[in-house]
Amino acid sequence: MLGILGGMGPLATADFYRRLVERTPADTDQGHLPVLMWADPGVPDRTAALLGNGPSPVPALVEGARWLQRAGASCLAVPCNTAHAYVEQLSRATGVEVLDMIEAALRAAVERAAGAERVGVLSTRGTRLAGLYERAGDRIGVEVIQVSERVQREYVDGAIRAVKGGAGGEPAEEWIASAAEALKDRGAQVIIAACTEIPLVSRAAARVLPLVDSTEALVDAALSRLWGPDPEDFVPGNGGGRLSSSTRTNLAGLRES
């Protein structure tokens, strides 16, 4: 049973669940994962807390995790990159297993760009300040590249705010594409959309460099951890056909890690 600790933000949580259903290698309703969802948009802002401008989200995260545990969740997916700054505290308080979205996204990036060593990251200020991708990069041996402060302020922050406010569209797409160009100029070989709002406005950025969706990486981690039958046997949306070789490789890598 997968527990989704969501609401950060609501659209990103809905996007995660939709992708989970679409990517699950099942050909009937009964083949899908049982899922419990706690989606609390009242969780204090993670970036504001990390910047010292707001209350800690930990109590709200612990409340949601404990509810999911009591309801029967065997592990949790948290479809919010910045919230992973608090996963260690969450695990200590509850003993719950939390899937590692950050490392899953980095490993997917290395696979996506055939052994890339320099991975660009588009994230919130909180994720950046916490060094989440940098620490994971050190563990697996890749260099993480961030945009400049100006690009973060003018393009990335603005795009994230637009999506959270329900006003994504063309301007936000252009801002994220400009940020992707800046990462390419800094030597990035592949980009991670490392905020769960960014994949919703990343189509133009994906034409600049190969782009990995952190939401999709978390979906694959959940499937690798919890979905029962051999994932080579089916492909989503294809009436029970086979998975692509790239998806099989990604799932196998996540199982081994």
DSSP assignment of 125-149: HHHHHHTHHHHHHHHHT-EEEE--H
Residue located via tokens 């996963």: 87
| Alpha carbon 17 to its chain's center | 12
Catalytic residue among 65, 195, 200, 219: 195
Task: Report in angstroms the alpha-carbon separations of 166 from 11, 32, 135, 161, 207.
Answer: 9, 30, 32, 9, 24
Q: Is 195 a catalytic residue?
A: yes
pLDDT number for residue 228:
60
Catalytic residue among 50, 77, 80, 121: 80
Q: Is 80 a catalytic residue?
A: yes
Q: For residues 52 and 165, what is the distance between their CA atoms, to the nearest angstrom?
A: 23
- Show the domains of the chain with their CATH numbers: 2-100+216-248 (3.40.50.1860), 102-214 (3.40.50.1860)
Taking 70 as the pLDDT cut, the residues of the chain under it are: 168, 228-257
Q: For residues 140 and 9, what is the distance between their CA atoms, to the nearest angstrom?
A: 29
What pLDDT, in 10s, does the model give residues 81-119? 999 999 999 999 999 999 999 999 999 999 999 878 999
Residue pair 161/9 in contact by the 8 Å Cβ criterion: no
pLDDT number for residue 200:
87
